[in-house]
């Protein structure tokens, strides 16, 4: 199809629900102890029944697995531990039969050091790919060219003895950063994305997309002082959070590349892109990266992936985004493969059942697209992974103050009676251990309980599909309140009030003067609140949806 022709787009992603699958941990299809593509295919009916519109697959491409697939050595092929390209085509076919779109995770900012591009680039300073990665000479004293830090700890520069230069790596030293100032790099990545679009994928999740460009002058980042833990991109125990990352990421040149990405996807019907943005100014950058209809379709930041979840904090996040959003479109996630599971992060060691029901109701009523991480529909708590069992290089480097991401990546709980929780690997998987604490949350057990969280998720998602104001409407925040977050979603004459008591105490929210008496929408399954004498009255962690006439 010519790049001058813009294909039709149904906008299915706008207000849709995406279900994230971490392939290593979803389902083992061949019994080798690692989840794979055939295993995912066998479980797709679970996602379709849940009511999701699409799946997002974390990377399944060839990789040495130093960062478990986020270090790609071949963008065009499937790693053998996950299966084959034929297995992926079978997954794609089955997903489409079930009405599910398929979004694949593309890591564009960096590759593995085993990628053939890097192997050629580091051979010498004169080869055809010499400038495909970010190389720089040492300072006069042999130290790195500037003060940039790696997210995973230490300097962001690694010495290479072949070129006698440093190369940039924002993450592991085995994940060298591509040089987006070289046009051929952009061209090669766009050609690779076209390969997958021609296979029939419905879009891309773009990992760490704001890391693609760096300051060409390699200027030092300014210091930010002692961290207070407010940086959502790194814990306070990580020195990365001491810097203001003005020059090593989030550069303005990225916008022109995103326009090229959008022009490519616009050639293919009904495709979409969602970008991950790791930055202190995440909400503003989501707006910037998605505004205007010529860059990303949607993006997400880390503001709702922190432990903070008070009504005031969430009101501030939403207000900040709405003030700068323009035509931009957010994707809201409360959990993913990089964050502590919501049940533990928001609920502690004994998360209240009402909180676990409030959270998806809140998420699914925000203006934007919702992304649900595997197992959230079960209320899985964070797993405790012993140091000797840890796999995550980030957690190993930052232990014990930061335990990394293994706790949210343990195998999915399908069958409470099976020794391997139905994962398919026998007694123990080959990478992260099973969590017996997840046994009571398994799909089979919740399937048999009509009042389970799993059934609640299904009811909520299917009900929401019939609420145009929640899918596509504008959002008007009510004034900030110490306990209750409230807003109205509106489209045309339809107005839906969404209100949530984000505390473990009863709460009362007076209705603004002139507000019509709300009519509760009980068919949503949301409970714990009522209308009484000109006010909304909430139980602890209570929530409501109501029609405003």
Q: Catalytic residue numbers? A: 207, 267
The closest of 102, 157, 106 to 135, measured between CA atoms, is: 157
254 burial level (CB within 10 Å; 0-12, 13-18, 19+) = buried
CB atoms within 10 A of CB 77: 14
Sign for the CA dihedral angle at 469, 98, 429, 449 comes to positive
- Rounded Cα gap, residues 462 and 76, in angstroms: 36
Strands 17-21 and 369-373: parallel
| Number of residues that this document lists for the chain | 549
DSSP readout, 230-254? --TTS-TTSGGGGB--SSSS--TTH
**SS3 for 275?**
strand
- Rounded Cα gap, residues 547 and 142, in angstroms: 67
- Rounded Cα gap, residues 169 and 62, in angstroms: 19
- Region class of 124: left (phi > 0), else alpha (psi between -120 and 50), else beta: beta
- Rounded Cα gap, residues 497 and 526, in angstroms: 13
- Rounded Cα gap, residues 103 and 16, in angstroms: 13
* Token representation of residue 497: 């009030």
């Amino acid at each position: 199809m010519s790049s001058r022709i813009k294909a039709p787009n149904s906008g299915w992603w706008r207000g849709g629900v995406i279900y994230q699958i971490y392939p290593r941990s979803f389902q083992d299809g061949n019994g080798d102890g690692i989840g794979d593509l055939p295993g995912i295919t066998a479980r797709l009916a679970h996602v379709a029944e849940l009511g999701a519109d699409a799946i997002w697959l974390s990377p399944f491409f060839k990789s040495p697995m130093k960062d478990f697939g986020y270090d790609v050595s071949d963008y065009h092929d499937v790693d053998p531990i996950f299966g084959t390209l034929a297995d992926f085509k079978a997954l794609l076919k089955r997903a489409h039969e079930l009405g599910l779109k398929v979004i694949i995770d593309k890591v564009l900012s960096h590759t593995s050091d085993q990628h053939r591009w890097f192997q050629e680039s580091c051979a010498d300073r004169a080869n055809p790919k010499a400038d495909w990665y970010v190389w720089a000479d040492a300072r006069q004293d042999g130290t790195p060219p500037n003060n940039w830090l790696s997210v995973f700890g230490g300097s962001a520069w690694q010495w290479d003895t072949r070129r006698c230069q440093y190369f940039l790596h924002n993450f592991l030293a085995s994940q060298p950063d591509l040089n987006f100032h070289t046009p051929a790099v952009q061209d090669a990545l766009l050609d690779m994305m076209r390969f997958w679009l021609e296979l029939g994928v419905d879009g891309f999740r773009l990992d760490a997309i704001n890391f693609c460009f760096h300051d060409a002058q390699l200027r030092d980042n300014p210091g930010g002082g002692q961290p207070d833990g407010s940086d959502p991109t790194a814990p306070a125990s990580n020195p990365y959070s001491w810097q203001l990352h003005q020059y090593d990421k989030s550069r303005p040149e990225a916008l022109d590349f995103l326009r090229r990405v959008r022009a490519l996807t616009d050639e293919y019907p009904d495709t979409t892109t969602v970008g991950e943005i790791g930055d202190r100014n995440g909400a503003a950058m989501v707006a910037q990266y998605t505004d205007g209809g010529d860059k990303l379709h949607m993006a997400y930041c880390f503001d709702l992936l922190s432990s903070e979840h008070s009504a005031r904090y969430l009101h501030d996040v939403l207000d900040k985004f709405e003030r700068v959003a323009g035509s931009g479109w957010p994707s809201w996630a409360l959990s993913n493969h990089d964050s502590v599971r919501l049940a533990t992060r928001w609920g502690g060691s004994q998360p209240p059942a009402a909180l676990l029901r409030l959270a998806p109701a809140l998420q699914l009523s925000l203006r934007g697209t919702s992304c649900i991480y595997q197992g959230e529909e079960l209320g899985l708590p964070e797993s405790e992974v012993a140091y000797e069992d840890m796999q995550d290089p980030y957690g190993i480097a930052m232990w014990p103050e930061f335990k990394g991401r293994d706790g949210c990546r343990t195998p999915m709980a399908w069958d409470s009676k099976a020794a391997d929780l139905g994962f398919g690997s026998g007694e123990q998987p080959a990478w992260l251990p099973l969590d017996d604490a997840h046994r009571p949350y398994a799909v089979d057990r919740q399937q048999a309980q009509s009042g389970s969280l799993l059934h609640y998720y299904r009811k909520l998602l299917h009900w929401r599909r019939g609420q145009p104001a929640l899918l596509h409407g504008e959002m008007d925040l009510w004034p900030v309140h110490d306990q209750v977050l409230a807003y109205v979603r509106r489209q045309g004459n339809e107005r839906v009030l969404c209100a949530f008591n984000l505390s473990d105490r009863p709460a009362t929210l007076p209705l603004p003067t002139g507000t019509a008496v709300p009519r509760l929408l009980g068919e949503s399954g949301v409970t714990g609140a009522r209308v009484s004498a000109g006010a909304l009255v909430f139980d602890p962690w209570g929530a409501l949806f109501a029609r405003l006439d």
